[in-house]
Chain A
Amino acid sequence: MLSLIMYHKILAAVNEHLNSEVAAHYALSLAKELNAKLFICFVAGKGMSQNNRRAAEDATRRLFNEAIDLGVQAESIAEMGEPVAEIGKIVRHEGISLVFASTRREDIHKRFFTGTIARSLSLKLSCSVALVRVVHSGRVQPSKILVPLKARIDHVDERGRFAAHMAKTFGSKVFVFHTPKPIAKFFHGGIHLTPQEWEKRISNDIARFMDCLSRYKVEHEGRLLPGKAARNITIEAFAKRHDLIIMGASERNLWASLLRSSPVEEVLRETPCDLIILKPRHED
Chain B
Amino acid sequence: MKINSLTKDEALRALVSTDEGLTEAEAVKRLSESGPNEIRETRKKSLIIRALHQITHFLAILLWTAAMLSFLSEYLHPGEGMMPLGLAIIGVIMINAVFTFVQEYRAEKAIEALKMLLPFFVKVIRDGMEKEVPSREIVPGDIIYLSEGDRVPADSRLIESSLLRVNNASLTGESETLNRDSLPAEGELLESPNIVFAGTTITSGSGKALVFATGMGTEFGRIAHLTIAVEAGPSPLQQEIIRMTRLIAVLSTLMGIVFFAAGQVIGRGFWESFLFAVGIIVANVPEGLLPTVTLSLAMGSQRMAKRRALIKTLTSVETLGSVSVICTDKTGTITQNNMTVAKIWHGFTVLDAREFTGSSSDPLLRAVRFCNNSKVIGNQYRGDPTEIALLRFAIDKAGDMQGERIMEIPFDSDRKMMTTLHAIDGLKLSFTKGAMESVLPLCTGLLNSGRTVALDEQIKKDALAAYHDLMDKGLRVLAFAFNDYSDQTPETQHLESGLIFLGLIGLEDPPRPEVPAALIKCRDAGIRVIMITGDGSRTAVAVAREIGLVNEKPLVVEGSELAEMTDRQLREKLSSEEIIFSRMAPKHKMRVVTVLKEEGKRVAVTGDGVNDAPALKKADIGIAMGLTGTDVAKEAADMILLDDNFATIVNAVEEGRAVYENIRKFMTYILSSNIPEIVPYLLFILLKIPLPLTIMQILAVDLGTDMLPALALGAEKPTPDLMKKPPRAPGERLLNRGLLGRAYLFLGPIEAAAGMFGFFFVLLSGGWQWKEPLAPDNSLYIQATTACLTAIIITQAANVFACRSAQRSVFVPGFFSNRLIFSGIAFEFALQFFIVYHPWGNKIFSTAPVPIVVWLVLIPYALLLLGADEARKAIVGRRRQRCSS
> CB < 8 Å: which of A137, A139, A141, A238 contacts B140?
A137
How many A-B contacts are there with CB distance less than 8 Å?
A: 110
Interface residues of B in 1-20 (CB under 8 A from A): 1-6, 14-16
Contact B141 A272 (CB under 8 A): no
Contact A270 B14 (CB under 8 A): no
> CB < 8 Å: which of B3, B222, B239 contacts A238?
B222
Residue of A nearest to B14 (CB): A140
B566 within 8 A of A: yes
Residue of A nearest to B40 (CB): A270
Contact A137 B242 (CB under 8 A): no
> CB < 8 Å: which of A21, A189, A241 contacts B243?
A189
> A235: which B residues are within 8 A, CB to CB?
225-226, 229-230
A188 within 8 A of B: yes
> B33: which A residues are within 8 A, CB to CB?
17-19, 104-105
Q: Shortest CB–CB separation between residue A69 and chain B, in angstroms? A: 12
The interface on chain B, measured as residues whose beta carbon lies within 8 A of the other chain's beta carbons, has a size of 53
> A18: which B residues are within 8 A, CB to CB?
15-16, 30, 33, 140-141
Specify the main secondary structure of chain B where it touches its partner.
helix
Residue of B nearest to A21 (CB): B16
B247 within 8 A of A: yes
> B212: which A residues are within 8 A, CB to CB?
136-138
A127-162 CB contact bits vs B (8 Å, 1 = yes)? Answer: 000000001111111010000000000000000000
With A136-B213, A231-B229, A272-B221 in contact, is A189–B591 under 8 Å at CB?
Answer: no
Interface-facing stretch out of A81-89, A190-198, A246-254:
A190-198
Q: Shortest CB–CB separation between residue B5 and chain A, in angstroms? A: 8
With A105-B32, A105-B35, A194-B600 in contact, is A138–B3 under 8 Å at CB?
Answer: yes
Contact B598 A141 (CB under 8 A): no
Contact B217 A136 (CB under 8 A): yes
Contact B141 A270 (CB under 8 A): no
With A234-B229, A272-B216, A272-B217 in contact, is A194–B25 under 8 Å at CB?
Answer: no
Q: Shortest CB–CB separation between residue B511 and chain A, in angstroms? A: 32
Q: Shortest CB–CB separation between residue B48 and chain A, in angstroms? A: 19
Contact B16 A270 (CB under 8 A): no
Contact B226 A187 (CB under 8 A): no
The interface on chain A, measured as residues whose beta carbon lies within 8 A of the other chain's beta carbons, has a size of 40
Contact A272 B1 (CB under 8 A): no
Contact A195 B229 (CB under 8 A): no
Q: Shortest CB–CB separation between residue B727 and chain A, in angstroms? A: 15
> A105: which B residues are within 8 A, CB to CB?
32-35
Residue of A nearest to B1 (CB): A141
> CB < 8 Å: which of B2, B43, B571 contacts A141?
B2
B157-201 CB contact bits vs A (8 Å, 1 = yes)? Answer: 100000000000000000000000000000001000001000000
A16 within 8 A of B: yes
B256 within 8 A of A: no
B110-125 CB contact bits vs A (8 Å, 1 = yes)? Answer: 0000000000000000
The complex places the Cα of A188 from the Cα of B15 at a distance, in Å, of 54
> CB < 8 Å: which of A135, A140, A192 contacts B2?
A140
Interface residues of A in 21-41 (CB under 8 A from B): 21
Residue of B nearest to A190 (CB): B239
Q: Shortest CB–CB separation between residue A171 and chain B, in angstroms? A: 9
> A79: which B residues are within 8 A, CB to CB?
none
The complex places the Cα of A51 from the Cα of B26 at a distance, in Å, of 10
The complex places the Cα of A187 from the Cα of B35 at a distance, in Å, of 46
With A137-B140, A140-B6, A234-B225 in contact, is A239–B594 under 8 Å at CB?
Answer: yes
- From A104, A189, A221, A241, name the one whose CB has the most chain B CB atoms within 10 angstroms: A189
> CB < 8 Å: which of B42, B140, B155, B571 contacts A270?
B42
The complex places the Cα of A21 from the Cα of B247 at a distance, in Å, of 59
A255 within 8 A of B: no
> CB < 8 Å: which of A140, A190, A192, A239 contacts B1?
A140
The complex places the Cα of A101 from the Cα of B3 at a distance, in Å, of 23
The complex places the Cα of A106 from the Cα of B189 at a distance, in Å, of 29
Contact B29 A17 (CB under 8 A): yes
With A18-B33, A105-B33, A141-B2 in contact, is A223–B213 under 8 Å at CB?
Answer: no
> CB < 8 Å: which of A55, A192, A221, A234 contacts B730?
A192
> B16: which A residues are within 8 A, CB to CB?
18, 21, 59, 62
Residue of B nearest to A51 (CB): B25
> B29: which A residues are within 8 A, CB to CB?
16-17
The complex places the Cα of A138 from the Cα of B42 at a distance, in Å, of 22
A-B contact pairs, 24 of them (CB 8 A): A16-B29, A62-B16, A106-B32, A137-B140, A137-B212, A138-B4, A187-B243, A187-B247, A187-B250, A189-B239, A190-B239, A194-B598, A225-B598, A231-B43, A234-B225, A235-B225, A238-B222, A239-B226, A239-B230, A239-B590, A239-B594, A241-B222, A270-B42, A272-B225
- Give me the 5 closest cross-chain CB pairs, A-B, nearest first: A138-B212, A141-B1, A138-B3, A137-B212, A136-B217
Q: Which chain B residues have a beta carbon within 8 Å of chain A's beta carbons?
A: 1-6, 14-16, 25-26, 29-30, 32-35, 42-43, 140-141, 155, 157, 189, 195, 212-213, 216-217, 221-222, 225-226, 229-230, 239, 242-243, 246-247, 250, 566-568, 571, 590-591, 594, 598-600, 614, 730
| Given A189-B239, A231-B43, 9 other A-B residues pairs in contact with their CB atoms under 8 A | A135-B34, A136-B217, A137-B14, A138-B3, A195-B571, A195-B598, A221-B566, A239-B614, A270-B42
